[in-house]
Chain A
Amino acid sequence: MALRRKDILTLEDMSVQEMQAILDNASSFKEILGRDIKKVPTLRGKSILTLFYEASTRTRTSFELAGKYLSADTVNIATTTSAIVKGETLKDTAWTVEAMGIDCIVMRHPIAGAPHFLARICQASIVNAGDGMHEHPTQGLLDMFSIAERKGRLKGLKVAIIGDIFHSRVARSNIWGLGKMGADVWLAGPSTLIPPEVERMGETFGSRGGRLRVTCRVEEAIEAADVVMVLRLQLERQKKGLFPSIREYARLFGVDRRRLALAKDDFILMHPGPMNRGVEIASNAADADYSVIIDQVTNGVAVRMAVLYLLLGGGGGEEAVADKGGEVR
């Protein structure tokens, strides 16, 4: 089944079938990454812009490489050296690059909903690469792909997501995605970093969905878990004294080998990166055999190839965009 949509903005609005289609295609794209010649001609003549209003290494690079491996032309706007510093609005920037023939804009923005705004005013496909504290859908998809690759399924797995849930768009996308695919999601962290509304997300997973549980005890979440996903403590966003000190956070909520001993024997350890080693994750745990953190990076390229292929691969022109349910300006 193909993806019949113009944009990828959230996993909240994505169906199980659409997510499954992306994951199925991604495994075929992963094979291409293992070749000597990592290039297929599929998106020849398409152009992709990565527009990042926040710092990023892996997401921006992996989108750029995913596009290049598919033979698309990729360009990057670094906000610090563009007309954005002269005060150009998001709308004018978007229309300017669209006038140059951009087919897809991959955007990261500090404000939640910014990609939705862009999707409404642009004919180009918009991919949300992280909007504020809202969602980061391709990260959720690559995490689901990495889990399914190791475990062969998502349904019925116990997945513990540990750390700063409040500031984490990665957590939100994973909660929607994993929950709807039938995994049992456990959230653990300091109560000041778990927003109260998060518990209600579990009510909308659907009839085939998993359960959502919240706890302040890391041990309870890790016990008998199939997957332990550690979130980055977003030091740049901590302004209000939500926990006493980094040292105390590491002692009470840091994931180390002692706590991981509670998980299932064949559990896997994940982290979306960049890691604060010694804070939310112990260095020797991050580098242990059960860690799939490096695999996540590789899988990120494969999943983003699948996303770009499914958005840009079929059709072109106004008819196809309208056909996919998008607006035509």
Chain B
Amino acid sequence: MILQPKAQIMDKAAIDRALRRVAHEIVEKNQGTQGLVFIGIRRRGVPLAERLRDNVRDIEGKEVPLGVLDITLYRDDLTTRSDAPEVHRTEVPCSVQGRKIVLCDDVLYTGRTVRAALDAIMDLGRPQAIQLAVLIDRGHRELPIRADYVGKNVPTSGREVIEVKFKEIDDTEDKVLIVEKVEE
């Protein structure tokens, strides 16, 4: 099976505009930045959280703390893999106790990653609330989870894969692609 690029659905300008809107929605819904913490899920949730934090700084002039979450130890598919994936550090700079967490990830799909992230955050303490921000919601949920903030809704088929590229990680310009799995 190979992955064949099908279409580019967002370029850098579109991603920037979407994240600026999402940042406004976050500030509006929370009536400012009081008690907010951005937490990005490794790996591509991290640049997303950083950009939302930068946008909120531009809007409100306030610095919101930013944490990084590694969910490897909370995955529900560990026992079906033949080897154990490397564990990276979870780095949350402040207590989550009583805070409003904005959990950030690039793509929302089955919801299993978010489920694992919720458990991982709960093990750090008891937040007042957890909200979910994603760049792409592609549907096909397997768990009762929904996003509070969505950059773009993209209806997909099960054979398609959404690839988000960020310049910090992928060494290329920011973009979102749809690729298709095809039999060789």
Which A residues are within 8 Å of any B CB, using their own CB? 1-4, 21, 24-25, 27-29, 31-32, 35-37, 39-42, 70, 306, 309-310, 312-316, 319-320, 323-324
Contact = CB atoms under 8 A, between A and B. Distances in A.
Contacts of A4: 83
B87 A309 contact: yes
Contacts of B88: 28
A40 B74 contact: yes
B101 to A, nearest CB: 16
B78 A2 contact: no
Contacts of B184: none
Given A37-B123, A316-B79, A2 B84 contact: yes
B81 A41 contact: no
The 7 closest A-B pairs by CB, nearest first: A313-B84, A2-B83, A314-B84, A314-B83, A28-B87, A40-B73, A42-B73
Interface residues of B, number: 22
Given A35-B123, A41-B74, A42-B74, A21 B86 contact: yes
Which of B82, B84, B89, B90 has the most CB atoms of chain A within a 10 A radius of its CB?
A: B84
Contact of B87 (A1, A29, A35, A36): A29
A29 B86 CA distance: 11
B84 A28 contact: no
Contacts of A309: 73, 84, 87
Nearest to B81: A314
B73 A31 contact: no
Given A28-B89, A314-B78, A39 B123 contact: yes
A309 B70 CA distance: 15
Interface in B41-69: none
Contacts of B73: 40-42, 70, 309
Given A25-B87, A314-B82, A314-B83, 16 more contacts: A2-B83, A2-B84, A3-B84, A32-B90, A36-B124, A37-B123, A40-B74, A41-B73, A42-B78, A310-B84, A313-B78, A315-B82, A315-B83, A320-B82, A323-B82, A324-B82
Contacts of B125: 36-37
B155 interface: no
B169 to A, nearest CB: 19
B168 interface: no
A315 B86 contact: no
B85 interface: yes
B123 A2 contact: no
Contact of A40 (B81, B83, B91, B123): B123
A295 B93 CA distance: 23
Given A40-B73, A41-B119, A3 B87 contact: no
A32 B124 CA distance: 9
Interface string B88-109: 1111000000000000000000
A95 to B, nearest CB: 24
Contacts of A37: 123-125
A2 B90 contact: no
B114 to A, nearest CB: 16
7 contacts: A25-B86, A28-B90, A37-B124, A42-B73, A306-B87, A309-B87, A323-B82
Nearest to B76: A41
Contacts of B70: 28
A35 B124 contact: yes
B174 to A, nearest CB: 28
Nearest to A317: B79
Contact of B89 (A31, A39, A316): A31
A29 B73 CA distance: 10
Contact of A27 (B78, B84, B85, B89): B89
Contacts of A306: 87
